[in-house]
Chains A and B, each alone.
Chain A
């Protein structure tokens, strides 16, 4: 039984459809991320769940209750915004207490709950600070405490980490995820940052131009991207043009050399197709039987510290590969002939874009 159910959700501004037939079921306690470039409709979808935008058609149900036409203040969702949106005239404690006061809780209960929430976000000493006296990270923690204080059914996070600097972002990311897991609160997170999406989510919804491109676990999305868009949006990837020799057997030619794909190719024999290959799946050493072997010439070597990224020309194609840096093994130099090894399973045929 899904906790948050979204059915055929559509949003149009005039003739411009920004969200097209969005369907999603989120289980209770799940952490789902909407990932996509700006303008892909992820924030609009989140705002429809929150009630700030009205759906053109479709339905949204939270815990079995149809909320599609309810105002935001009747939906029982907590929201955290990119720009914190703390009330500047209230202290941290005042901000956290706001929702409880609106709900007309008893003063003693409010006080206890506020202290509990500030403890939860690790800011017990800052109850009397005003928003402008706090750092961005602290403000966003207060905003999180404020959103959670009323024990909402659903937590919505609209790029909550985007305005923070890199170090705070990573620390808060891990904390946010831990907190979400401990509280078991169903969460929808919106981001354009694939690293955030991959590291925090139970499932990721990759969106582009108002449509869902792919829905799956981070592992699935990263290793088995279904479309060219998903493949190129998530992580670094080799996109290789190849020619199909035998679709049923998964035989293709890359730069004039034979290779095998671990799955069937849905393109006719003799046609062009596109395959994706993660740089970390390619090796210069021979791992043994069953792998593809393709010869090429090293064109470029970039030393990135922990990894060495090597670009190899194979006919017209160019394949990037990552190798861990090892002090005993100096990076190869451009012009060298090398053989690339990779498993047929790592070659992912992509649907035509």
Chain B
């Protein structure tokens, strides 16, 4: 029994080292802005830069908009496919996987050709409409994660008989969707939502080529012009991601389970 145990620990140690060493290196480097001593000055510089807060706020708003739009698109679609069009499932799955195969740069070039200021629908003509275009692009990028999460969530409930039960009680489609289906895939929607958040926060290609003041281009700008601050920023980005994961864990717990009366 000793040997396999040792092997398992070795594999674990290698795994931890693979992830931890670069991170520790980054943190260590970010603390060395002053010669000969550790300090948090790099973090102070980042956090006191109004551009950091502006771009972060912009990206966070874009992420929330993406989550709302994506959820309203994906949940009814996944529901309808499960209920009435199961034959279309493989095709829809394939379509939702496309963003993983086609790079964002292709998507954004397509957008720029279709919606430039001299086109039939000049979406890039004004900042607000460009934002709409960007969020639409983010919804596409988030599709693989959002659709899969929601579809898995729907697998765990009996969509058909819940729908039929609600129908026989007199409920209309919209009531069924918002009162029965949504609450029961809430956990799945949330985990998809936080993945979406993490994707949108760090997204560079779309924001940069549409020239929007997002966090991704800001990261790139700082990375290109400063020495220590990029490491601090990288660590902050990691922390944000972890916070997202933590939130998933927190919200993933059923509210029903928390209110158990024993």
Q: Please report A residues at the B interface, Cβ cutoff 8 Å.
A: 50-52, 71-79, 81, 83, 85-89, 98-99, 102-103, 128, 130, 132-133, 143, 146-147, 150, 156
- Chain B residues numbered 142-175 whose CB sits less than 8 Å from any CB in chain A: 157-158, 161-162, 164-172, 175
- Tell me, in angstroms, the Cα distance from A146 to B260 when the chains sit together: 22
Given contacts A102-B175, A133-B260, contact A87 B167 (CB under 8 A): no
Select which of B165, B171, B180, B256 is within 8 A of A79 by beta carbon. B165
Q: Is the CB of A85 within 8 A of B261?
A: no
Residues of B within 8 A of A74 (CB): 170
**How far, in Å, is B241 (CB) from chain A's closest CB?**
29
A-B pairs with beta carbons under 8 Å apart, 23 shown = A51-B168, A52-B164, A72-B167, A73-B167, A73-B171, A75-B168, A78-B169, A79-B165, A81-B161, A81-B165, A83-B158, A85-B158, A85-B164, A85-B165, A86-B165, A87-B184, A88-B256, A89-B186, A99-B170, A102-B172, A103-B170, A128-B261, A130-B256
Q: Is the CB of B183 within 8 A of A78?
A: no
Q: Is the CB of B171 within 8 A of A102?
A: yes
How many CB-defined contacts (below 8 Å) exist between A and B?
74
Q: Is the CB of B256 within 8 A of A72?
A: no
Q: Is the CB of B168 within 8 A of A78?
A: yes
Residues of A within 8 A of B161 (CB): 81, 83, 85
Select which of B166, B256, B261 is within 8 A of A98 by beta carbon. B166
Residues of A within 8 A of B158 (CB): 83, 85
Q: Which of chain A's residues has its CB closest to B169's CB?
A: A99
Q: Is the CB of B170 within 8 A of A102?
A: yes
Residues of A within 8 A of B175 (CB): 102
Q: Is the CB of A73 within 8 A of B165?
A: no
Residues of B within 8 A of A76 (CB): 170
Q: Is the CB of B172 within 8 A of A73?
A: yes
Q: Which of chain A's residues has its CB closest to B182's CB?
A: A89
Q: Which of chain A's residues has its CB closest to B175's CB?
A: A102
Residues of A within 8 A of B169 (CB): 73, 78, 98-99, 102, 146-147, 150
- Tell me, in angstroms, the Cα distance from A143 to B162 when the chains sit together: 11
Q: Is the CB of B168 within 8 A of A77?
A: yes
Q: Is the CB of A88 within 8 A of B164?
A: no
Residues of B within 8 A of A78 (CB): 168-169
Residues of A within 8 A of B179 (CB): 98
- Tell me, in angstroms, the Cα distance from A132 to B162 when the chains sit together: 15
User: Across chains A and B, which 8 residue pairs bring their CB atoms closest together, nearest first?
Assistant: A99-B169, A89-B183, A85-B161, A72-B167, A85-B165, A79-B168, A130-B256, A102-B170
Residues of B within 8 A of A156 (CB): 168
Q: Is the CB of A87 within 8 A of B180?
A: yes
Chain A CB count within 10 A is highest, among B162, B169, B172, B179, for B169
Chain A CB count within 10 A is highest, among B161, B183, B184, B261, for B161
Residues of A within 8 A of B261 (CB): 128
Q: Is the CB of A79 within 8 A of B162?
A: no
**How far, in Å, is A105 (CB) from chain B's closest CB?**
11
Q: Is the CB of B162 within 8 A of A87?
A: yes
Given contacts A72-B164, A81-B164, contact A88 B157 (CB under 8 A): yes
Q: Is the CB of B168 within 8 A of A73?
A: yes
Select which of A50, A130, A146 is within 8 A of B164 by beta carbon. A50
- Tell me, in angstroms, the Cα distance from A89 to B164 when the chains sit together: 16
New A-B contacts (7) at CB < 8 Å, excluding given A73-B169, A87-B166, A130-B256: A51-B167, A72-B167, A73-B167, A83-B161, A85-B165, A99-B171, A150-B169
Select which of B157, B168, B184, B260 is within 8 A of A147 by beta carbon. B168
- Tell me, in angstroms, the Cα distance from A74 to B162 when the chains sit together: 17
Residues of B within 8 A of A72 (CB): 164, 167-168
- Tell me, in angstroms, the Cα distance from A144 to B150 when the chains sit together: 30
**How far, in Å, is B22 (CB) from chain A's closest CB?**
43
- Tell me, in angstroms, the Cα distance from A79 to B165 when the chains sit together: 7
**How far, in Å, is B140 (CB) from chain A's closest CB?**
30
Q: Is the CB of B256 within 8 A of A150?
A: no
Residues of A within 8 A of B167 (CB): 51-52, 71-73
Q: Which of chain A's residues has its CB closest to B164's CB?
A: A52
Q: Is the CB of B184 within 8 A of A88?
A: yes
Chain B CB count within 10 A is highest, among A51, A83, A89, A130, for A89
Select which of A51, A71, A89, A103 is within 8 A of B256 by beta carbon. A89
Residues of B within 8 A of A143 (CB): 165
Residues of B within 8 A of A89 (CB): 180, 183-184, 186, 256
**How far, in Å, is B184 (CB) from chain A's closest CB?**
5
- Tell me, in angstroms, the Cα distance from A276 to B167 when the chains sit together: 45
